[in-house]
Structure 1
Amino acid sequence: MHDPVTELDIQAYLDGELDLPRRLAVEDHLAGDPAAAARYMAELRAQTALRLLAEPRDPAPAALIAAAGRLAARMAPPPRPLRHRTFGGMAVGGLAAIAATLLVFVVPGVSPAAPPSYVGDAVMAYRTGLLRAELRSQLESPHFDAGEIQRSTHIRVPRLPRGWQITDAQIFPSDEGPALQLMIRTPAGKNLSVFAVRARSAAPRSPLAMRHDNASVAYWRAGDMSYALIGMEAPEALDLAAENLATEGVF
């Protein structure tokens, strides 16, 4: 007997993150609920439309640009994400992500109205990590066991590039629950932070880089995990590094 299909299963199905047996279970579930299937097909249609917007094409009409801006402003995520309330059959967080992606794809160089709330926690954790490195009384903890972290917190950790050295590993409190923060030293001597929290946020699935509170942040989502890469480099440099993290998978 199959496990019951949950909302997380359906969202993972929409994101293309399920294996074939679980996909079939979700499809059987939706086949028996036409109203729910119609709602989720509408979300898939919106995702396909966003991919089409990403294709090279002539400049977008001014009316479409203005509409994207209004949608992003209206659907910007609140300080604490609304996980269960829906708007027209689609999660508010999902609409906010679509609005943000519309701005990125339709209006090059324009950032979404507001990043997910965990991004602020990620920047704070980064600054705390830098402070810990300077204070002799605050010992760093470079020991890190990805399996132990996943068993205890269900946090899946991105696989780090070769040469990246973990100098500090801490569990950091956030509005979404316990988060993992890793301080990293790159081969070039740069200090970065990787922040991971189990939360289905409004972050895009492909990393989006921006300046936030005098730091550069690239943030993204993978299923029910949300991630951020923080440093003092230019957003473009962090965006490239975050793309590598996002495509390398997890430990």
Structure 2
Amino acid sequence: MPADPVSEIEILAYVDGELDLGRRLAVEQHLAACPRAAARVMADLGAQTALRLAQPAFDPREAGLADAAARLSAMLARPPRAPMPFFSRRRAGVAAVTVAGLATVVAFVPKGATASPPAYVSSAVMAFQTGLIRAGMHSQRADATFDPADVQRSTNIRVPTLPDGWQVTDVQLIPSDEGPALQIMVHTSDARVVSIFAVRSSVTAPAKPIATRYGGASVAYWRHGEMAYALTGLDAPDALDLAAEDLADNRLS
């Protein structure tokens, strides 16, 4: 019986070390057959390890991420066995180049990043991951209706005007440690899926967006007056940072 297909959520959970052994094996077999996906996962693992190494309070128990990266590297570099005709020599070569670039990935630390992102970033990433799950569930109806004036009247939350071509697909008011927060799932003009998280908070955050990897996703965070924002997605931090800067420069609705 063929194994269940690997979902994007399971790949995120794999990076976070939250899968059981059976599904971890399924994800690793999927990555062995798809060097592009493997390269992205290895970048996620390497960036997470680099950020943890940069933190003074680095917990050695988190080193399992580095072990996972090493296992994935060894698996990709191993010559394919006969029962795996889908793993061609060309793909094996791409995988080898990916493995060779791991040292560069691990050395990445976002410019201007603090030792630890603000606490609300964790809520923003969780909201993004939940939004991805909602999008794949027929029983969870997405609500694309977004009235900035109504939101501001009810919650005093303001969000930047969306760039041209960005389409709202779901809007939710959710609880957070900072109080009620607004989460907006968006399809960008180039068909990327991102989440905008906005909450009134006194937490320290930069006025100009800073992008990093957190919890298996990329997140750019900043503040404007009493509002704290985060833009979360699956792109590399530098790509998300450009989108966040575009968003942060827009006037508040």
TM-score (norm 1): 0.57
Q: Which residue among 178, 184, 187 is the counterpart of 1:185?
A: 187
Q: Which residue among 150, 157, 178 is the counterpart of 1:155?
A: 157
2:220 is paired with a residue whose SS is: strand
Unaligned residue ranges in structure 1 (runs of 5+) = 1-71, 75-106
Query: After the TM superposition, which segments of 4 or more aligned residues of structure 1 sit over 2 Å from their partners?
Result: 107-111
- Report percent identity of matched pairs: 55
Unaligned residue ranges in structure 2 (runs of 5+) = 1-54, 58-108
Aligned AA for 1:215? A
Per the alignment, residue 165 of structure 1 pairs with 167
Q: How much does 1:73 deviate?
A: 5.2
Per the alignment, residue 128 of structure 1 pairs with 130
State the Cα RMSD in Å: 1.7
Per the alignment, residue 75 of structure 2 pairs with none
Give the distance between the partners of 1:114 and 1:173, measured in 2 at CA.
22
Answer yes or no: is 1:143 the counterpart of 2:141.
no
Q: Could you say which structure has the greater relative contact order, defined with CA pairs below 8 angstroms and 6 or more residues apart?
A: 2
Per the alignment, residue 113 of structure 2 pairs with 111
Per the alignment, residue 214 of structure 1 pairs with 216
Q: How much does 1:111 deviate?
A: 2.7
Per the alignment, residue 240 of structure 1 pairs with 242
Q: Which residue among 217, 223, 226 is the counterpart of 1:224?
A: 226
Aligned AA for 2:132? L
Please say if residues 207 and 219 of structure 1, whose CA atoms lie closer than 8 Å, have aligned partners that are also in contact: yes
Give the distance between the partners of 1:144 and 1:110, measured in 2 at CA.
33
Please say if residues 164 and 186 of structure 1, whose CA atoms lie closer than 8 Å, have aligned partners that are also in contact: yes
Q: How much does 1:235 deviate?
A: 0.4
Please say if residues 110 and 212 of structure 2, whose CA atoms lie closer than 8 Å, have aligned partners that are also in contact: no
Give the distance between the partners of 1:73 and 1:246, measured in 2 at CA.
30
Please say if residues 126 and 183 of structure 1, whose CA atoms lie closer than 8 Å, have aligned partners that are also in contact: yes
1:29-64 CA deviation, whole Å, 9 max, x = no partner?
xxxxxxxxxxxxxxxxxxxxxxxxxxxxxxxxxxxx
Please say if residues 219 and 231 of structure 2, whose CA atoms lie closer than 8 Å, have aligned partners that are also in contact: yes
Distance verdict in 2 for CA 1:230–1:135, change over 3 Å = same
Counting matched residue pairs gives 148
Per the alignment, residue 196 of structure 2 pairs with 194
TM-score (norm 2): 0.56
Give the distance between the partners of 2:170 and 2:140, measured in 1 at CA.
11
2:135 is paired with a residue whose SS is: helix
Distance verdict in 2 for CA 1:110–1:224, change over 3 Å = closer
